[in-house]
Amino acid sequence: MWMVVAYTVVITAFAVVILMNFHRPEKSVRHAVKHCHAIDDPQFAREMDAMLGPDVLDGNAITALQNGDEIFPSMLKAIREASRSITFETYIYWSGEIGKQFADALKERARAGVPVHIMLDWAGSAKMDGSLLDELVDAGAEVEKYHPIRWYSIARLNNRTHRKLLVVDGRIAFTGGVGIADQWQGHAEDPEHWRDIHFRVEGPVVAQMQSGFMDNWIKTTGRVLNTDLYFPALPAVGDKRMHLFVSSPGGGNASMHLMYLLAIAAARKSIDLQAAYFIPDALMVKALIDARKRGARIRLLVPDKHIDSRLVRMASRRTWGDLLAAGVEIHEYEKTMMHNKMLIIDGLLVSVGSTNFDMRSFNLNDEASLNIYSTAFANAMTQVMEADLEDTTRFTLDDWKRRPWHQKIGEVLVRPIESQL
C-alpha cells in the first residue's frame, strides 16, 4: 500500500514539473490583431514604443555580416580591441576551432584587466569542453550558466536563453543568428557550413543591447554592472532608427509574439521572412493570410532537407496548406542549413536577432530582437533575400497536397509537442 502511495506521489510530482515547463507567459496574445495603420504611419511607431518598451532611437549605424567568413572575424576583432568591458550572452557555444578562438580572445582581454562577463545557456553550451570554461575563469572572466539543473529551478528547465548579444566597451554590439560552433564557419558553401546573418551595430541603441544582456545577468547573479564601463555616452554615428527589445516567459511577457503580430497586421505591400524554424501558431497563420487578403506579397524562406531538426520540418509543413492556398510563396533553401532570422515589411521595417518564427521563441525562450526602421537598410536586406532565393526551390500547393503518407502521419504525431520544438 505504501509503495503504491509513494509511486503515485513521485509520478504526480513528475507530471506537475513537466506541465510547469509547458506554461505560457502571463501576458500572451490570444486574439487576432486588427489592421489599423501602415508601417510608415507614426501611430505604428508609437504603439511599438508603448507596448514593447524601449523607445525607437535615432543616430545608429548597422553592418550586415554574411556567414562565418565575415561574422567571426568582425566579432573577434572587436573583442581583441576591447579596452573597457566585454559582455557576451549566447545560446550555442560548442568546442571546436572557432570556440577556441573566441575563448583565447576573451582570455587575453581578461588577463589584460578588461572586465569580461559571459552568459551561456546551460543546455546550448552542453557540448562545450569543460577545460575551455576553466581556462576562461582562470583568466579572470566571469562565466555564468543560465538555468542549470537545480532542484529549486527545475520548473524553469524549459526556459532557455536564446539571446545572442555581444557588447564591447558599451559602444559596439553584435546580434543575429550565429552560434559559436564550427558549423557557422565558411561561406555556406556546402552542407557542413551553415548559412547565417549577423549584425554589427553602433550608436545610442547599443545601450539597449547592453540592457538586454544585463536583464539575464541580474536574474542569474543578482549583481548590477553599471558605470560608464558598460553604459558610456553614445553620440549619433549614423542615420538609422532602431530599438532592441527582449522577451522572457520568466518576466511574464511574450514581446516577440506581440511584435510579429503588430508588424504583420500593419503590412500592406510586402512581407519577406527568412525563418530557420517556422512553426506558426493559429494567430500567426491568420495574420499572414489576412495580409495576403490586403494585397501584400509574402515570400517565406525556410530550410530544405539540410535542417538540424527533422521534427521541426515535419511540424512546419502541417501549417503550409492554408498559407499556400492564400498565395504565400514558400521557398526551400537547398545548399545547406539556412539559419537566418529576418523579417522585412513594406520596404521599411527590418527585424533581426535571435528570434525564430516558432512557438518556442514566442513563449518559452528568452529572446532579443533588433528592429531597424530604414528604407535604405530594408532595400539592402531585400537584396540579400533575393540572392538567397536563387538557391531555393519553390514549394507549391500541389507539392503540399502530394506529400507522402508518412509525412502526414508524422504531422499528427508531432502536433502535441509543437510548442516545445
Query: Which residues carry out catalysis?
Result: 162, 164, 169, 339, 341, 346
Cβ contacts of 240 within 8 Å, gap of 6 or more: 59, 60, 61, 62, 203, 372, 373, 374, 377
Contact between 61 and 201 (Cβ < 8 Å):
yes
Tell me which residue of 130, 78, 65 sits closest to 105, measured CA to CA.
78
**Whole-angstrom Cα distance, residue 121 to residue 104?**
20
Cβ contacts of 418 within 8 Å, gap of 6 or more: 279, 315, 359
376: Cα within 13 Å, side-chain hemisphere: 8
**Whole-angstrom Cα distance, residue 63 to residue 176?**
11
Q: Radius of gyration of the chain from Cα atoms?
A: 21
For 219, left (φ over 0), alpha (ψ -120 to 50), or beta?
Answer: alpha
> Dihedral (C-alpha) 179, 185, 187, 193: value to the nearest 10 degrees?
-80
For 273, the enclosing helix (H) or strand (E) is strand 270-275
How many C-beta atoms surround the C-beta of residue 73 within 10 A? Answer: 12
CA distances from 228 to 170, 223, 234, 289, 397 (A): 8, 16, 10, 47, 55
Tell me which residue of 304, 259, 303, 315 sits closest to 284, measured CA to CA.
259
